[in-house]
Amino acid sequence: MSTAENQSHVHERKDPSEYGFLHSMESGAAVDGPGMRFVFFMSGCQFKCLYCHNPDTWKLHNGTYLDIDSVLKEIKGYARFLKFAGGVTFSGGEPMMQAPFVGAAARAIKEKYDLHIALDTQGFLHGNVEDDWFDAFDLIMLDIKHINPDTYLELTSQPLQPTLDFAQRMVRLKKEMRIRYVLVPDWTDAKEDVEKMADYVASLGDLVELVEVLPFHQLGTSKWEKLGLEYKLKDLRTPTPEEAEAARDIFRARGLTAT
């Protein structure tokens, strides 16, 4: 039986909370949450962001089969270190595309190792889960790609409002958040857009512990080419350090911590 056939067979006979599809893992990540992180990059994403640097994560079943026991075994050798140095992050792709499994895995990690757990998401699919699904997550890393609904749709192929609704839900649930904002020349770097974004983020209150302004880069260009996809931003430049710092200063002017 081929790998694809085996995964399809597993999918038919198991509860989706028991298994998932993994794009990749990283055991020493320093940019995916506080401290050093063990990161599970889950497969599947319903967004098609023009600047995506991992388009190979878009298709759910292109990933490797993973079950709860495998998750716990992968973490076991790092758990003692992660307890004081960082924690675990579920990223993607979009981890909420596999919400039953990701939620079950986060609960299992919390129960067995009591580690800090972060969820890196754009929040679009939050309506598919109940409030208690978020109980195991200590930090929500929310990627808001633009504050203008029309530009957001053009950038991502999806509407903005579900992501803003998700942010408000996290406020209601009193979940600590990091807001991630990718600074893309000619798309997300206009001063008035950054100011509107900063105003919105400030309105979320003290639960926002950090804003990460992430300069656009071209590191994923080869992946688009390999997949035979048209990469419309291949000639776009990377923001200068001064431009990135100017954007951070706009957030700081609203009393927010920005890096």
Angle at 61 between CA 77 and CA 140, to 5 degrees: 55
Nearest-angstrom CA–CA distance, 71 and 159: 33
Q: 45 among the known binding-site residues? A: yes
Q: 237 among the known binding-site residues? A: no
Q: 52 among the known binding-site residues? A: yes
Closest by CA position to 58, among listed 42, 71, 74 = 42
Cis ω before 86 (30° cut-off from 0): no
Q: Residue 144, exposed/middle/buried by CB under 10 A (0-12, 13-18, 19+)?
A: buried
Closest by CA position to 187, among listed 216, 162, 210, 165 = 216
Q: For every residue of 52-91, which 3-state class applies, written as one string? A: CCCHHHCCHHHCEEEEHHHHHHHHHCCHHHHHHHEEEEEE
Q: Please state the φ and ψ torsions of residue 167, each to the nearest 5 degrees.
A: -60, -45
How far does the chain reach from its first CA to its final CA, in angstroms? Answer: 49
**For the packed helices 99-113 and 68-76, what is the interaxial angle rounded to 10 degrees?**
40
Known binding-site residues equal 45, 49, 52
Known binding-site residues for [4Fe-4S] cluster equal 45, 49, 52
